[in-house]
Amino acid sequence: MKKILIIEDDLLISSLVQFRLKKDGYETFLVKDGNEGVAAIESLDPDLIITDVMMPFKSGIEIIHFARENKPDTPIIVLSSLGEEEKIVLEAFNLGVADFIPKPFNPNELAIRVKRIFR
């Protein structure tokens, strides 16, 4: 079973993502800030990381840097609002993230993108 780590400080969004991915049979783990995200990357060795950009303690970009240094082959999907974060999203792609999904998003589209990454 594929393990997916969801790093998102908005409980509604993280619960929605978790619910949709569990329907497809994935094992999901939720954490609510960047510090917990870094710890979970080390302890869980996830098959996929889904992260927000703007979060408490460590940003999504810091999480992506950490993941690239410690788990370079783990795909990452960034979930984030566009707007003032557009430059940050470009930086995330430069760091090698697999995908970007703007908020608000369709949970079924997210599920399809996750399946595509695991193909």
CATH of the domain at 113: 3.40.50.2300
* Total structural domains within the chain: 1
pLDDT-above-70 percentage for the chain: 97
What mean pLDDT do residues 3-15 have?
96
Domain range enclosing 41: 3-118
Give the chain's mean pLDDT: 92
Max CA distance (Å), the chain: 37
Query: Residue 88: what pLDDT?
Result: 78
- In angstroms, the Cα distances linking 66 to 49, 75, 76 are 12, 13, 12
53-110: pLDDT as tens digits: 888 899 889 999 999 999 999 999 999 876 656 777 788 888 899 999 988 899 999 9
The phi, psi pair for 55, rounded to 5°, reads -145, 165
Query: How far is residue 31 CA from its own chain's centroid?
Result: 10
